[in-house]
Amino acid sequence: MNDALRRAAPIVVVLAATIVVWYAAAVAMNLSAAQALAGTGAGPGAVARAAWSLDRPLLPAPHQIAQTLFTGVFTEPVTSPRSLVYHAAVTAGTALLGFGLALVLGIALAVAIVGTRTLDRSLMPWVIASQTIPVLAIAPMVVVVLGNIGLSGILPKALIAGWLSFFPITTAMVTGLRAPDRMQFDLMRTYNAGNRDVFMQLRWPASMGFLFAGVKVAATLALVGAIVAELPTGAQAGLGARLLAGSYYGQTLQIWAALVMAALLTLLAVGATDAAQRVLVARRGGRL
Amino acid sequence: MIIATIVLAVSVAAGCAGLIALAARDGRAYAIAAPLLFGALLLWCWEVVCLGFGVPRVLLPAPSGIAQAFVANLPTLWADFVQTVIRAVVPGYLIGCGAGYLTAIALDRSAFLRRGFLPLAGLLGAMPIVGIAPIMVMWFGFDWPSKAAVAAVMTFFPMLINTVAGLSTTGALERDLMRSYGASYWQTLLKLRLPAALPYVFIALKLNFTLALIGAIVAEFFGTPIVGMGFRISTEAARLDLDVVWAEIALAALTGSACFAALALLERAVLFWHPSFQKFALSKP
C-alpha cells in the first residue's frame, strides 16, 4: 500500500498541476471571447467563469470536456448520430477488423519469412523499408478507389487500419520466432524433432512475449488508421468523422470529446491485450 | 491478354529462380541485390498486369504512367514538397525532437518529476495523437504552422521516452569511474551519459521523421492553403486523377526513405565507437 502510494503521489501531483495550468491557459486563450461575454467592467472572476463556459472556446476547460463526454456517452440514445458510443463503436469495429486481418496475415508472413531464406533476404528489407513511408497518406486514395469498384463501408477503412498495424506484428513475430538460442535448437535436434515439432514446441511458444509487445503497438496503430480512414468518407460516422465535422463547424468541445473517446478506446485496447497476456501467462504456469 | 499472361508467368518464374539463387549465397552484394530484384520484379509485374489486362487508370495506374505523371508535374510536386516538408515537417520535427530531448534531460535531475511525468508521457505517447490536428488547425491557422505543431507534438513523446531510457543505460561501474575522477553531474552527463544515450536518441530520430511526415500530411486533410502533399492527395483522389496521387505518394515515400537513410548514415558516423557498429563486435551467443 505504502509502495503504491509512493508511486502514485508524483503522478497525482503532476496531474493536479496540469489541470491548474490548463484552467489558467483556458482563461488566457479564451480571454477576448470571455471579455465580450462577461461585458465591459466585469471583474476577473466573472471573466474567468465566462472563459470556462464558452460554447466554442479556443481551449475548453477540463470540466466542459468531461460534460460533453458525459452527455455524448450516457444521455444520448446509443443509435443516435450524436452519441459518442455509436461513433466509438463504428471506429472500434473498423479497427478490430483491420487488426484481425493484420494479425492473421502478419503472423503468416512472419512464419513464411522465418521458414524461407529467399523471403527473408528479399522481402524482409521491404517490410522494414515500408515503415519509412507515410502510409496514412494513401488513406484517401484507398477509400476513393475501393469506393469506385463498389467496395465501400467498413472494408476500405479496415484495410488501412490493417496495413498500419501489420508491420509491428510481423517484425515482432520474426524476432520472436528467432528468439530461441542455438542450445535449445540443438536440444530439439537431439530429440530428433522435425521442423514441425521445432516450430510448435520451441519457436511458437518462444515468440509469444514478442507477439504481445507487437500487438500492443499494433492495436493503437489500428485505431489511428481507422480514425484517419474515416476522414475522406465525408464525415458520416466514426470518431474521425466526428473530428472532421467538429473542425468544419468550429465545435471545439465536440473535437475534444472525440479525442478523449479515442484515448479511452486506446486504453481499452491496451488493457484487453494485457488481460489476454495475463490469461496466457496463467495458463503457461506463470511464465511467458 | 494471352501474351500478357505468358509474359507474367515467365517473368515470375525467372524472377523467383533469380531470387532463390541470390538468397542462397552469402555476402553483402547478394544481400543488397536480392531485395532490389524483388522490388524490380514487383514493379514489372505491376506494369505487365496494368497494361496487359487493361486495368483502368482510375483503379490502378501503371508504374510507367506514374513516372510520367511525376515528371510532368514536377513544378507542382516541388511546390507541395516545399510547403509540406520544408515548411512544416522539418521545423516541427526539430522543435518536437529538441523539446523531447531537453525535457528528458530536465526530468533526469528530479526523480520525483520523472516518476510523475514518465507514466503520463508513456500513456500520451500511445494515444492517437494525430487526432489533435483539427485543434492545431484552429489554433495556428490553415498554413504550415499548424502542420508543424502537429509534427512537433507527435515527435515529442517518442524522443522524450527514448532519451530517458538512454540516459539510464550507463552502468554503476561507469558512473563510479566518473565519480572517482571527481566529475561533476554535468561532466558525467556530457562525457558519459549523453553519448551512451545516443543509440536510443537515434532510434527516436529515425522513427520520428516518418511520424512528422504523417502528422503534417494528415493535418492537411483538415484544411490547408491550396498547396501541400496532403491537400494534393485528397483533392486529386477525389478527382480520380490517380497518376498524380501515386506520384505524390512516391514523393512522400522517397522523402521518408531518403531521410531515414541519411539519419542511418549520420548514426554510423556519430556512433562509430559504439559496440553495435564495431566490425568485430561480439555477436549474440
pLDDT in tens, B70-112: 898 889 899 989 888 888 899 999 999 999 999 999 988 888 8
> What is the band of A102 on the pLDDT scale with cuts at 50, 70, 90?
very high
pLDDT at res. B285: 40
Task: Write down the residue that cell numbers 522494414 correspond to.
Answer: A128
In the block, residue with C-alpha cell 496531474: A15
Cβ contact, residue pair A138, B233, below 8 Å: yes
pLDDT in tens, B182-238: 888 888 888 888 888 888 899 889 889 988 998 888 888 887 888 888 888 888 888
Domains parsed from chain A with CATH numbers: 2-58 (no CATH), 84-283 (1.10.3720.10)
The Cβ of residue B254 has, within 10 Å, a number of other Cβ atoms equal to: 14
pLDDT value, residue A234: 56
The CB density around residue B36, as the number of other CB atoms within 10 Å, is 12
Chain B, residues 180-209, CB within 8 A of chain A, namely 209
Interval A116-139 mean pLDDT = 79
* B120 Cβ contact list (under 8 Å, min separation 6): A11, A14, A15
Tell me the pLDDT tens digit for each residue of A220-274.
888 888 888 887 765 578 888 888 888 888 788 888 888 888 888 888 888 898 8
- Residues B20, A231: C-beta atoms closer than 8 Å: no
pLDDT at B281: 47
Q: Domain B70-277 falls in which CATH fold? A: MetI-like fold (1.10.3720)
Q: Say whether residue A58 is in contact with chain B using an 8 A CB cutoff.
A: yes
Q: Please write the tens of the pLDDT for every residue from A133-180.
A: 777 777 777 877 787 777 777 888 888 888 888 888 988 888 888 888
Average pLDDT of B155-178? 88
Chain B hits for A135, CB-CB cut-off 8 Å, are: 214
Q: Please name which of B245, B240, B207 lies closest in space to residue B96, comparing C-alpha atoms.
A: B207
Instruction: State the Cα–Cα distance between residues B218 and A49, nearest whole angstrom.
Output: 35
Q: Which residue of B has its CA nearest to A222?
A: B128
A121, A144, A266: residue with CB nearest B238: A144
Put simply, whether A283 touches B (Cβ < 8 Å) is no
Q: Looking at per-residue confidence, does B61 or A79 come out higher?
A: B61
- Are B217 and B227 contacting, i.e. CB atoms less than 8 angstroms apart? no
Q: What is the pLDDT of residue B149?
A: 93
**Which of A113, A120, A121, A144 best tests the B interface by mutation, with the highest count of B CBs <10 A?**
A121
Q: How many CB pairs under 8 A join A and B?
A: 167
Backbone angles phi, psi at A185, to 5 degrees: -65, -40
Q: Tell me: the pLDDT tens digits for B104-120?
A: 999 888 888 888 888 88
Q: What percent of chain A has pLDDT over 90?
A: 5
B29 touching A (Cβ < 8 Å): no
A20 pLDDT more than 50: yes
* All three cell numbers of A282: 496463467
B residues 236-255 lying closer than 8 A (beta carbon) to A:
237-238, 240, 242, 245-246, 248-249, 252-253
The CA radius of gyration of chain A, in Å to the nearest whole number, is 24
Q: Which pLDDT band, with edges at 50, 70 and 90, does B280 fall under?
A: low
Identify from A120, A141, A181 which residue to disrupt to test chain B contact, counting B C-beta atoms within 10 A and taking the largest count. A141
Nearest CA in chain B to A243: B134
Q: Is B169 left (phi over 0), alpha (psi -120 to 50) or beta?
A: alpha
Alpha carbons within 13 angstroms on the beta-carbon side of residue A36 total: 6
Phi, psi of A235 (to 5 degrees): 55, 55
In chain B, what are the domain boundaries?
Answer: 2-55, 70-277
Q: How far apart are CA A186 and CA A182, in angstroms?
A: 6
